[in-house]
Amino acid sequence: MNQPTATAPSFTPETKLGDIVVARPLLARVFERLGLDYCCGGRQTLTSACARKGLDPHTVIEMLTAAEAESAAPVETDTAGLTLAELADHIEQTHHVYVKAELPRLVEMAGRVAGKHGWRDARLAEVHRTVIALAEEMFSHMRKEELILFPIVRQIEVGAADGSFHCGSIANPISVMEAEHESAGNAVARLRELTDGFTPDAESCNTHRALLAGLADFEADLHRHVHKENNILFPRALARAGKN
């Protein structure tokens, strides 16, 4: 059986950090993990930036190439064949883990961008406030799912409950989660409006570009996340509990 051909690296040791982020903003995450300054230090080549940190530029290129391939071809789980418990586990291990890692990064970048460039675009301060509020809402939302709703779903799966709990019917927490999904969706829609569809302008610095790319990626993940809950997990849990 033929093995798939490896994708040729898109970068060389002499590629500038800033040029990489301009072309592929989501790769800023790799530089952030490694402590490489792609914003004010964006004119550095990979060779010079890595030398300052004691890193091998060829290893960094491999990391960039792998991250590029991963972002270009996200793997989606076929949720149709999952049990209720497996689907709850999948949502926690995939979407909750992503949100917990990504939102603090977006809050920090939004603050930096608003602080440095708010003088030329007053909307950046609102972007920062909206991301903070979204993060607070999402972290509260996920705690309620992990500590209350998903354990109920798992009990229903094994026949240990009939859908009636201290909170009443399972329909009650589900209705709260659905309302919070709508609120989060409205916040992301507002971010899209404030950023002209997550589109940088000619004066956007590399941190700003990375922020916009991160927000667009977050929006896409939120849509998949909410779809799996509103359209698959919740209806199936209600039907299993006889509450549909």
In 82-230, where do the E strands start and end? 164-165, 168-169
Question: What is the distance between the alpha carbons of residues 125 and 106, in angstroms, rounded to a whole number?
Answer: 13
The pLDDT tens digits of the residues spanning 199-242 come to 999 889 999 999 999 999 999 899 999 999 998 999 999 998 87
Q: Which residue has the higher pLDDT, 239 or 139?
A: 139
pLDDT, mean of residues 185-192: 96
Mean pLDDT for the chain overall: 88
Between the alpha carbon of residue 65 and those of residues 3, 4, 76, 118, 218, the distances in Å are 18, 15, 20, 33, 21
pLDDT (0 to 100) of residue 66: 87
Residue 181 in contact with residue 219, Cβ under 8 Å? no
Of 37-46, 68-77, 78-87, 119-128, the poorest mean pLDDT is in 68-77
Contacts for 136 with CB less than 8 Å, ≥ 6 apart = none
- The angle formed by the CA atoms of residues 122, 213 and 146, to the nearest 5 degrees, is 100
Domain ranges of the chain: 17-71, 80-240
Burial class (CB in 10 A: 0-12, 13-18, 19+), 103: buried
What are residue 165's phi and psi, to 5 degrees? -140, -175
Least confident of 19-33, 60-74, 174-188: 60-74
What SS3 class is residue 149?
helix
- By CB atoms closer than 10 A (0-12, 13-18, 19+), residue 210 is buried
pLDDT over threshold 70, residue 43: yes
| Cβ atoms 84, 233 nearer than 8 A | yes
Tokens, residue 154: 């798992």
Per-residue model confidence as pLDDT tens digits over 97-112: 999 999 999 999 999 9
| pLDDT for res 50 | 94
Identity of the residue numbered 26: L
- Has residue 9 got a pLDDT over 60? no
Tens-digit pLDDT profile for residues 161-177: 554 555 567 899 999 99
Range list of β-strands (E), 67-195: 164-165, 168-169
Joined together, the tokens standing for residue 212 give 């916009």
